[in-house]
Amino acid sequence: MYPTTRDETLTTAVGVEFLNTDTIDYLEGCCAEPVERRQCRYDSLEEIHDANVWLSQPHLAIWEPPAGGRRYVIGCDGADAAMRQEFEVGSECYFVVLDESCGEKVAEWHGFANSPDFAIAIWKAATFYNTAMVIPEKNACSAAIAYLTDTLQYSRVYERETFAAVVQTFAGLYGFDTKGASRAILVQRLQDNVNRRTMVLKSRYLVDQLRNFGRRRGRPNKQPKRKGTDCDDGPIALGLCMFGHDNAINGAWQPKDAIDLASAPRTRIDNTERAKSVRGELEAWNEEDRFIEADHFLNRT
């Protein structure tokens, strides 16, 4: 009930950590240099050997190449300052490639880019990683989503969901809303999976952003940002990887000694099933039932 040491007193007095410091230190220990780097162009995915190129240009940093039979997800966070006056001010476009089966981060791409270039980079990475599921945020990525789905004709893109006891999907509405109430779910899933160490992150650039994200307790940073300083593009992109599948919430990424407390998976329906059930109710509801319902309502009021 009471702190027993000075260190414990100082730790418990400030409340519970948002992201566990020991976990962030553990993730820093996992960091390593990418095994290869590739330039994402419309007609090629060319490997980069010149350090001057990959230090100055956005590129796909790869820690693990795609493996046959594996499924991957790509979380994409767009820049929030596309109309900035200074090129180096504002957040970056950022996407993270995660192995859906084990939660290991295998690749990332980040940098300043316009919407078509960002969409092309996503498209090349997604096709490279076994036609990965793409989960973009809808707010700053709307132009990139349109380019990805219309011009590049890529179809494996996350469709909007509402989250409750029943999760509903909206066909044709692409992207996750990171500005609305659903942001809390994104932050909660990211916090939970980071603190349980269910993911392996090898990018020091991402881990540094994750540490700053934890200091702000997941709140968005409204101050002007410069490249690599207190941005949250990487953590948001990583959080978006929690969607498009159930592995982050149904125990597939849990440590071996963890217990899945969910008694049953949540029900999932889409607009097609919902419309079908409504039509069935209307067909079953004849004129006599309508009068009975109206009479019951009038007597009750």
Residue 27 has pLDDT above 80, yes or no: yes
Find all residues with CB under 8 Å of 195, minimum gap 6, and list them.
19, 20, 23
The residue among 190, 193, 187, 126 whose CA lies nearest residue 158 is 126
Residue 84: per-residue pLDDT: 47
Same-domain status, 96 and 202: yes
31-40, 102-111, 169-178, 269-278: segment of lowest average pLDDT: 269-278
Percent of the chain clearing pLDDT 70 (strictly above): 71
Same-domain status, 142 and 165: yes
* Between 177 and 134, the higher pLDDT residue: 134
Three-class SS state of 292: helix
Residue 75 has pLDDT above 90, yes or no: yes
Q: And the tokens for 144?
A: 């990139």
133-136 and 72-77: which strand pairing? Answer: parallel
In whole angstroms, give the CA distance from residue 236 to residue 63. Answer: 20
Same-domain status, 178 and 295: no
Same-domain status, 55 and 187: yes
In whole angstroms, give the CA distance from residue 253 to residue 189. Answer: 12
* Between 225 and 242, the higher pLDDT residue: 242
* Between 186 and 221, the higher pLDDT residue: 186
Percent of the chain clearing pLDDT 90 (strictly above): 37
36-40, 41-45, 205-209, 223-227: segment of lowest average pLDDT: 223-227
In whole angstroms, give the CA distance from residue 242 to residue 247. Answer: 8
Its domain, for residue 41, covers: 6-266
CATH assignment of the domain containing 106: 3.30.420.240
Residue 259 has pLDDT above 50, yes or no: no
Name the average pLDDT for the chain: 81
Residue 83 has pLDDT above 90, yes or no: no
Q: Does 1 reside within a domain?
A: no
Same-domain status, 22 and 161: yes
In whole angstroms, give the CA distance from residue 275 to residue 257. Answer: 42
Residue 154: per-residue pLDDT: 95
> How large is the average pLDDT for residues 168-186?
85
Band (pLDDT 50/70/90 cuts) for residue 2 is low
Q: Which residues of 53-79 are buried (b: 16+ CB within 10 A; e: fewer)?
A: ebeeebbbbbbbebeeebbbbbbbbbb
